Structure 1
């Protein structure tokens, strides 16, 4: 069987991180995060990392073409008999177009997790962050232990107005991605679904 090359998309709070772990564990995929790649290139003081640092030091965004170069470089180091999971990238139509120009980045599956805004707000506004341990809890689904509950805080990006803004940005940008990839994007509505139910839907897509 040919290896799976999966792009996983979804707004903040959609459970994308949880499903990424499921995919990595069950399909032996290499997890790829462009943010992690960027940090690794800069820490390694590579040529690509130096170029990226120049943009960041100037307060500019790293160009899509440079991020794509990092992706291509990394995927070339992987065992071709194994698959990979590209987590949360592309984010824009321009990035999606860049991906289509590189055969090594051609996905076998593109999965998008769909969640409505109210569900996202409920999930994310209920999160509480422990500034000492770095752990994250949820006031309903995973409450912090009583002994530390008072010190847990709401992160600035978990406030309702910020959540709604990020959700709208995601929707606006994802519309362009759909135009590039068309019917190749498999949309999974995860409202009201358990983690295992979503995983089962993904398994149906990948086989």
Structure 2
């Protein structure tokens, strides 16, 4: 976690950074990638006494070499697109430094990482509006979890069957809901364009499970808003019972007469207050 904050310091953003001595296992690589730490170059210094990395038969090597080889092989694989090899041989330190600098210049870094964003806040906070605007601005895929879970629920699939077995208690099964999201964000449009999600997480456990996704969120945005503003927005909000469209009857009182509009069950003020308390608790947990 300390590394996460170090590379996001202003001077690191401006000048770039070099990480040395903190990656020893494939698990270390996975951990830094999940934190959004993505090097443009990975330089592997190969000592002259090490046999080739693809050598299957070893002799006259130190006892720890097989463990090192297994680890370095997987580390190299994870960094394969940005990997640069520098053979030390009998070269001087100055020459090795020059080779490392040249290798860094000759090879371009990875493509821009597509945004993976979660926006959450209580009803009336404008989370869906902000998500749609962000999706339009950055050409992201907008995922409404409430709609997504309904699609998964009605689908004739193994996951759909599991959701239906939970009946009304599906919101207590964080692992299943995470599977629904994981399946969606691994589809081609999300992988190619990035995505912005609303309606999830519900609980602290949901929040913790976000790190288990194959492409976890790179940003989580909490909309900190006065509860009174949320209540004011919801108080005048009505839904068309046939189309699901939303109308503000304070701004468009004439529409309320022409259409059959109802209050959404989740727009009850007690529900919203409970959602605010829950969201604030989630934010405190995520920052601790």
Q: TM-score range by the shorter chain?
A: 0.7 to 0.9
**Residue 263 (structure 2) pairs with residue 155 (structure 1):** yes
Gaps of 5+ in 2: 1-111
SS in structure 2 opposite 1:95?
helix
Is 1:69 aligned to residue 174 of structure 2? no
User: SS state of the match for residue 192, structure 2?
Assistant: coil
Larger relative CO (CA 8 A, sep 6+): 1 or 2? 1
Which of 167, 171, 174 is the matching residue for 2:276? Answer: 171
Q: Deviations over 1:46-79 (max 9, x none)?
A: 10000001111xx323411011112112222235
Residues of 2 paired with 1:55 and 1:175: CA distance? 27
Aligned to 1:125: 235
Q: Secondary structure at the match of 1:111?
A: strand
Task: Kindly report which structure 2 residues correspond to 1:51-200, keeping only aligned pairs within 5 A, or say none.
Answer: 51-56=162-167, 59-62=168-171, 63-79=173-189, 80-105=191-216, 107-131=217-241, 134-145=244-255, 149=257, 152-155=260-263, 157=265, 162-163=268-269, 165-182=270-287
Partner SS for 2:177: helix
User: Which stretch of the first structure deviates more once superposed, 81-90 or 135-144?
Assistant: 135-144
Given that 1:8 and 1:16 are in contact with CA atoms closer than 8 Å, whether structure 2 keeps it comes out as: yes
**Could you give the per-residue CA deviations for residues 73-119 of structure 1, whole angstroms, max 9, x where no partner exists?**
222223533211111211211100111233522x2221122221221
Aligned residues: 175
Question: Matched residues in 1 for 2:128 and 2:208: separation?
Answer: 24
Given the superposition, is the C-alpha separation of residues 126 and 34 from structure 1 closer, same or farther in structure 2, using an over 3 Å criterion? closer
- Secondary structure of the 2:223 match is strand
Contact preservation (8 Å) 2:240, 2:262:
no
User: CA shift at 1:124, angstroms?
Assistant: 1.2
Structure 1 residue 152: Cα displacement: 4.7
Note closer, same or farther for the CA distance 1:134–1:40 as it changes in structure 2 (3 Å cut).
closer
| In structure 1, C-alpha distance between the alignment counterparts of 2:181 and 2:244, rounded to whole Å | 29
Q: Structure 1 unaligned runs (5+)?
A: 184-207
Larger Rg belongs to: 2
Alpha-carbon distance, 1:133 to partner = 5.4
Post-superposition offset of 1:151 = 5.5
Two-structure CA RMSD over aligned residues (Å): 2.5
Aligned-partner Cα distance in 2 for 1:158–1:76 = 30
Instruction: Summarize the Cα distance change of 1:171–1:42 in structure 2 as closer, same or farther, 3 Å threshold.
Output: closer
Q: What is the match of residue 51 of structure 2?
A: none
Which residue number in structure 2 is paired with residue 194 of structure 1?
none
Moved over 6 A (4+): none
Cα 1:44–1:168 shift into 2, 3 Å: same
- Decide whether the 8 Å contact of 2:241 with 2:262 is kept in 1: no
Residues 83-92 or 129-138, more deviating: 129-138
The C-alpha deviation readout for 1:17-43, integer Å capped at 9, x for no partner, is: 211110111111112233323222233
